[in-house]
A and B are shown apart, each in its own frame.
Chain A
Amino acid sequence: MRVAPGTVGGSQRGRWLLALLLALVTPVAGARAQTPEDGFAAALAELREADFPSKEAIIERLSASGHRAVQPVLSAFLEDRLFVRTADARIVIAKSADEALTELELVDPVSLADAGRAMPAELSKIGTNNRLRRVLRTTIAHFSLASTDAAVRLAAVQDMLRSVDATTLELLRERSQVEQDARVQRAIATGLALAELDEMDPERRLAAVAILSDRISADVRNRLAVLIEKTPDGAFAETDERVRKAAETAVRSIDSYQSLYSGIETLFFGLSLGSVLVLVAIGLAITFGVMGVINMAHGELMMLGAYTTYVVQLAMPNHLGASIPVAIPAAFIVAGLAGVLLERTVIRFLYGRPLETLLATFGVSLVLQQLVRSVFSANNRAVATPAWMSGTLVVNDALAITYNRLYIVIFTLAVFGILLVVLRRTRLGLEIRAVAQNRAMARAMGIRSTWVDALTFGLGSGIAGIAGVALSQLTNVGPNLGQAYIIDSFMVVVFGGVGNLWGTLIGGLSLGIVNKLLEPFAGAVLGKIVVLVALILFIQRRPRGLFPQTGRAAEGS
């Protein structure tokens, strides 16, 4: 009594006939069914009173009706969101099944239009049992398999593979005849081959192993590994030797693929950690590298950026998705202004005395920390992650990349690129470089060096603020946020070579990657210690970092 999915979506007349036919053969079909609309509504209405066996029959009728609301209704049924309203005995769907809600938003199951709201007490649930839920799942999967969206079909196949039985296999076989999408076809083939492994005929098992040998999912690997294992009494679980050999080769090849992809994953983790390092260090590369100021308050400027994100989210609670794009310029301005203020009031008196700036800015960092403690309390603040930043990009069965890591890499490169353009291509950048190289000569050329100093420091601080926005998505936002990163950021700048932005980029990324490569062998903490010690030794060999400044610029510092 299964209907090929293609015909369900057919012409109005075809569906009409089909519904009529179904209504006739279905034993419970007491109702007349002239139109799909009627048949659907009638079957639905019977759900109110039906017992479990008749519910099963009703599900079949519903799915056979071909009505456009079949899938939402069945999903709601499966997820316990299908209710009868006590007041008027009308069947409704709740938009959410959240128990915590005091009021549920309702949808009409036939028209799918809004149907007002109701308290949970005014509704009575249409119950399901295990058997019914399985029927529902298969029916929904059947519908999803017929979907025009390949992604929906893929999800349906993967869902079905979790519990393979005779019916689902039959469904998958049918689908594989007509499926056009390569990825869905491949997933179906995997499922069918997994089932074939249980066949009596060794030739068919061998063929199945051959199909599975280029899959990389852990499920397939584990299933194949069973074939080459011995049972407790010493005999092989798989009796045919050819199949065993093939399975062995397949497992080995899957393992090598998996280690390749886990290598790629580690590399990517390293890249994203390195991006964070670059991001926190790049502002310092300006203030420390270009201006020679050791700004111990750099971490606290990042903290200001992170708190700016928090405040922006407080101000626009209904537009979380937009909060990050708003917070980036806001944090740049807040931290940049703080930087300009710091330069004007403290740092400008200390040029040429880097060790004194270290002390003074350390004092400033203490004041800033206490400031946020006084304003926002000493507790960590919760900064939300917008929906578009969460989730994972699934490349294949062995490699999945979380979006926030991906975005941080892209974001870092963007910030770096913009900064490079500012320094290389704008008037301000030219003046910054001129003052850094030869202050007296720059002044003689009519550059207001004090003004440039303030702007340079503001630029570096603003970028620290932007880094803070990124950090707010990665770690806790609290008064100690800055301290956690200050040493790392100095390391990156010194490693890359002071006064060299490219050095900071390459230094940060390579430190991140080395850190992540060490982690599997040494553990996170020991890995970090190894990196620090290696860095100390590296600075002995090359005291001026990876890319030392040469020529006139080097003489000034």
Chain B
Amino acid sequence: MLRPLADLWSTLRRDRADLAFLAVLAVAAILVPVLNQLVPVSSPLHVSTYVLTLLGKYLCYAILALAVDLVWGFGGILSLGHAAFFALGGYAMGMYLMRQIGTRGVYGNPLLPDFMVFLNWTELPWFWLGFDRFPFALVMIGLAPGTLAFVFAWLAFRSRVTGVYLSIITQALTYALMLAFFRNDMGFGGNNGFTDFKDLLGFDLQEDGTRVALIVATILALAMSFCACRLIVSSRAGRVLRAIRDAESRTRFLGYSVESYKLWVFVFSAVMAGVAGALYVPQVGIINPSEFSPINSIEVVIWVAVGGRGTLYGAAVGAILVNYAKTFLTGALPEVWLYALGIMFVLVTLFLPRGLMGLVPAAARAK
């Protein structure tokens, strides 16, 4: 138990930015609850529910971006389908939340969610069984995206589908899932998805207290994912992963089982994305098939590219910054938002191949 922690500490000590990133998260984890719960509403320092929700959303995106950075920045696997894993985790959480509604739905059916009553279904489909229990839902949050990622990646990596081809079939994967989830008879609420959630583990989702707890949980999840990723990439396996990224064939010729390295890092990354999705749904209050849209997955890649791939913290910072810019610009200058986003991508890829983190002088980061 102590070995990994010691390893982690010695790893983190080497990079000042890592420590700074974790420190910021720690401060946020303390400051946000205080500013929301203890500071009076009239004070300019008060964090409103609206800001709380936004912040929670950004942090979930940051976890997703970390997941993408792990496979893309270190493994060279450009996944254009990571939003699918995110959405699957979200759907697993959504199913739990739907079951929690119980008789409080519009139709008051104790067993069936509203949309099933609406479709004249009489019994719960088999894949909904068990979702009334939180531990089961928790397992499924990891298992659903993890299994999909395992099957998909096992098939793909074993056949040595790489580079652009892999990117395109990941895109096809999320596109196929989107079409599937849009269908009413899939049993996932069709194009309306799940919404109108009431409570999580008995806590009312509309309460600020619950939201603060969720944000703290998200910050913790982000910090833990970050540490886990850092451990992976700085381990021996991480070095092999980077070797695969830089020269896949050569690594294979050196006797490494390239496929299994890629497979496990991909599955881990998918589970991380699933967790991010599960935290996202109760905070945003809705999940629908548009989360599977291929554009979403591309946007995640963009966050990572903007922040700086292969740095981990860069991915998280990129996710938060780009989404903040999106919120700000779509509110203030809706016409300009797509121009700004589009031009930003072009400029970043052209002039900042290492993202915003590339701007930070190397000397400031390394100790």
Q: Quick one: given A367-B339, A540-B161, are A350 and B349 in contact (CB under 8 Å)?
A: yes
Residues of A within 8 A of B350 (CB): 346, 349-350, 360
| Interface presence of A356 (CB below 8 A) | yes
- B318-353 interface mask toward A, CB cutoff 8 Å, 1 = contact, 0 = none? 000000000000000001011101111110111001
Compute how far the CA of A535 lies from the CA of B179 in the bound complex, rounded to whole angstroms: 15
| Interface presence of B41 (CB below 8 A) | no
Residues of B within 8 A of A260 (CB): none
* 3 shortest interchain CB distances as A-B pairs: A363-B345, A366-B342, A367-B342
Compute how far the CA of A537 lies from the CA of B154 in the bound complex, rounded to whole angstroms: 11
A545 to B: closest C-beta gap in Å: 9
Compute how far the CA of A369 lies from the CA of B350 in the bound complex, rounded to whole angstroms: 21
> Are B165 and A539 interface neighbours, CB within 8 A?
yes
- The interface of chain B, by Cβ under 8 A from chain A, is 78, 152, 155-156, 158-165, 167-169, 171-173, 175-176, 179-180, 182-183, 294-295, 298, 301-302, 305, 335, 337-339, 341-346, 348-350, 353
Compute how far the CA of A363 lies from the CA of B302 in the bound complex, rounded to whole angstroms: 9
A531 to B: closest C-beta gap in Å: 9
| Interface presence of A355 (CB below 8 A) | yes
> Are B176 and A533 interface neighbours, CB within 8 A?
yes
Residues of A within 8 A of B168 (CB): 490-491, 494
Instruction: Give the residues from 463 to 501 in chain A that come closer than 8 angstroms, CB to CB, to chain B.
Output: 483, 487, 490-491, 494
> Are A487 and B341 interface neighbours, CB within 8 A?
no
Give 24 pairs: A residue, B residue, CB < 8 Å, sorted on A: A349-B350, A355-B78, A356-B353, A358-B298, A359-B301, A359-B305, A359-B345, A359-B349, A360-B350, A363-B302, A363-B341, A364-B346, A367-B342, A367-B343, A367-B346, A370-B337, A370-B339, A373-B338, A487-B171, A494-B168, A528-B179, A532-B176, A536-B172, A536-B176
Compute how far the CA of A385 lies from the CA of B302 in the bound complex, rounded to whole angstroms: 39
Compute how far the CA of A364 lies from the CA of B342 in the bound complex, rounded to whole angstroms: 6
A518 to B: closest C-beta gap in Å: 13
Residues of B within 8 A of A358 (CB): 78, 164, 167, 298
> Are B176 and A529 interface neighbours, CB within 8 A?
yes
> Are B161 and A539 interface neighbours, CB within 8 A?
yes
Compute how far the CA of A296 lies from the CA of B345 in the bound complex, rounded to whole angstroms: 12
> Are A363 and B164 interface neighbours, CB within 8 A?
no
> Are B335 and A366 interface neighbours, CB within 8 A?
no
> Are B346 and A360 interface neighbours, CB within 8 A?
yes
> Are B349 and A356 interface neighbours, CB within 8 A?
yes
Compute how far the CA of A383 lies from the CA of B345 in the bound complex, rounded to whole angstroms: 32
Residues of A within 8 A of B152 (CB): 536
- Chain B residue nearest to A350 in the complex (CB): B349
A457 to B: closest C-beta gap in Å: 16
| Interface presence of A257 (CB below 8 A) | no
Taking a contact as CB atoms closer than 8 A, the residue among B161, B175, B342, B345 that contacts A487 in the complex is B175
Compute how far the CA of A370 lies from the CA of B341 in the bound complex, rounded to whole angstroms: 11
| Interface presence of A354 (CB below 8 A) | yes
Residues of A within 8 A of B175 (CB): 487, 532
> Are B298 and A362 interface neighbours, CB within 8 A?
yes
| Interface presence of A30 (CB below 8 A) | no
Instruction: Give the residues from 216 to 269 in chain A that come closer than 8 angstroms, CB to CB, to chain B.
Output: none
- Chain A residue nearest to B338 in the complex (CB): A370
> Are B160 and A543 interface neighbours, CB within 8 A?
yes
Residues of A within 8 A of B348 (CB): 359
- Chain B residue nearest to A358 in the complex (CB): B167
Taking a contact as CB atoms closer than 8 A, the residue among B158, B179, B345 that contacts A366 in the complex is B345
> Are B179 and A525 interface neighbours, CB within 8 A?
yes
A469 to B: closest C-beta gap in Å: 25
Compute how far the CA of A29 lies from the CA of B216 in the bound complex, rounded to whole angstroms: 102
> Are A540 and B164 interface neighbours, CB within 8 A?
no
| Interface presence of A365 (CB below 8 A) | yes
Given contacts A363-B349, A370-B342, 19 further A-B contacts (CB under 8 A): A294-B167, A355-B78, A355-B163, A358-B167, A358-B298, A359-B349, A362-B345, A364-B342, A365-B342, A367-B338, A367-B339, A367-B346, A369-B338, A490-B168, A526-B183, A529-B180, A533-B176, A535-B172, A540-B161
> Are A362 and B172 interface neighbours, CB within 8 A?
no
| Interface presence of A319 (CB below 8 A) | no
Residues of B within 8 A of A346 (CB): 346, 350
Considering residues B168, B335, B341, which has the most beta carbons from chain A within 10 angstroms of its beta carbon?
B168
- A516-557 interface mask toward B, CB cutoff 8 Å, 1 = contact, 0 = none? 000000000110110011011101110110000000000000
